[in-house]
Amino acid sequence: MNLQAQVLECAPSLPGLGSLGALPRPVVPPLQLVAAPPVSPDLLRSLPLLCHLDPAQAQWLARRVNLRRVARQARVVEQGGRETALHYLLKGHAQAVRHNSAGRSLVIDQLRPGDHFGELSLLDEQPQTATVRCTVSSEWLVVSRADFLHCLGESPALLQALLQALVHRARRKTRHIALLALNDVHGCVVQQLIDLSELRAGQRVVAGRISRQAIADMIGASRAMVSRVMMVLTRRGEIELLPDGSTAIHCQPPDRPARRRRAASAPT
C-alpha cells in the first residue's frame, strides 16, 4: 500500500482529520479582500507545497483560494485562535510571535514572501500556537482546510512534500531552541544571519537590508547589542555589504560553548 493510501485509510482515526469527504469550512478573519484579478494556477504552482499539484489540480484550487491584504501592524491570526486555513505570504513581511500570560512576547519566526504557516492547525484543528502580525502592508493567499485536504487526498506528491515540510520545521525549531540556550549574543547573531541567507554561486547572501531589530526580536536581545555585534563582524570581514545592497556572509556557524568548557576543564 502506498503512502497516500495509508494516510487516507487511517484518516478517520487521526485527531482533527475526520472524514476527508465532509470537512467544515474554516472561519476566515475579517481581512480586506482583493477584488482583482483571479488567482493564476501558475502562481499556485510557484509556491512551496502547491508546486507539487498537477495543472488540473492547480486549476481547480485557483478558483477557490482567496487573496487578502493586511495593513501594517494588523494581525493575520491570533495565538489561541481557531483559524484552520493555510496562509501564504505573497508580498510584504510578517512575524510569528508567542505571548505568555505575563504579557511577555518572543518573535519565533520571520516570514518573507513565499513562506507559509498554518499546517498544524489545519491538520489537527487545534488553536493557533502563535500570533502572526504584519510589519508592513502585506498580501496573503489563503487556502481553506477543506480545499487543501481535498488536494492532499488527490496528490501523493503534495502529501510527501507536506511531511517533509513538517519535519524541516521541527528541526529548525529545535535548532533555534538550542541556539538560544547554548550561545551568547554574538553566536546567536551569527546563526541568525546564516539562517536568513541563501546560496548564490556558492556564497551565502542575505538579500536586501538586514533589520537589526528583527534579529534582536528573534534572539531576545536589544537592538543596540545586535548593532555592536554587526559592527564587529564587519570589521573582521565576516560580513560584507555588496553593491546591490545585499550582504555576503563569510562567518561560520558558532561553536558550541559546551565544547569550549570541556576543553578548558580538561586536565593538562
Looking at the structure, give the CATH architecture of the domain made up of residues 3-177. Sandwich (2.60)
Q: How far apart are CA 236 and CA 255, in angstroms?
A: 17
Q: In 92-222, which residue ranges form alpha helices assigned H by DSSP? A: 119-124, 145-154, 156-182, 185-196, 212-219
- 264 backbone dihedrals φ, ψ, rounded to 5°: -70, -30
Sketch the domain layout of the chain as residue ranges. 3-177, 184-256
pLDDT of residue 218: 83
CATH 1.10.10.10 fits 184-256, yes or no: yes
3 state SS of 119:
helix
pLDDT, greater one: 5 or 42? 42
Scan for cell 503512502, then name that residue.
3
Grid cell for residue 11: 484518516
pLDDT, greater one: 266 or 193? 193
Peptide bond into 37 cis (omega under 30): yes
Query: What's the CA angle centered on 104, arms 103 and 107, to 5 degrees?
Result: 130
pLDDT digits (tens, 9 = 90+) for 4-33: 444 444 444 434 434 444 444 444 444 454
pLDDT digits (tens, 9 = 90+) for 199-238: 888 899 998 888 888 888 888 889 999 999 999 999 999 9
pLDDT at 3 over 70: no
Same fold, 3-177 and 184-256: no
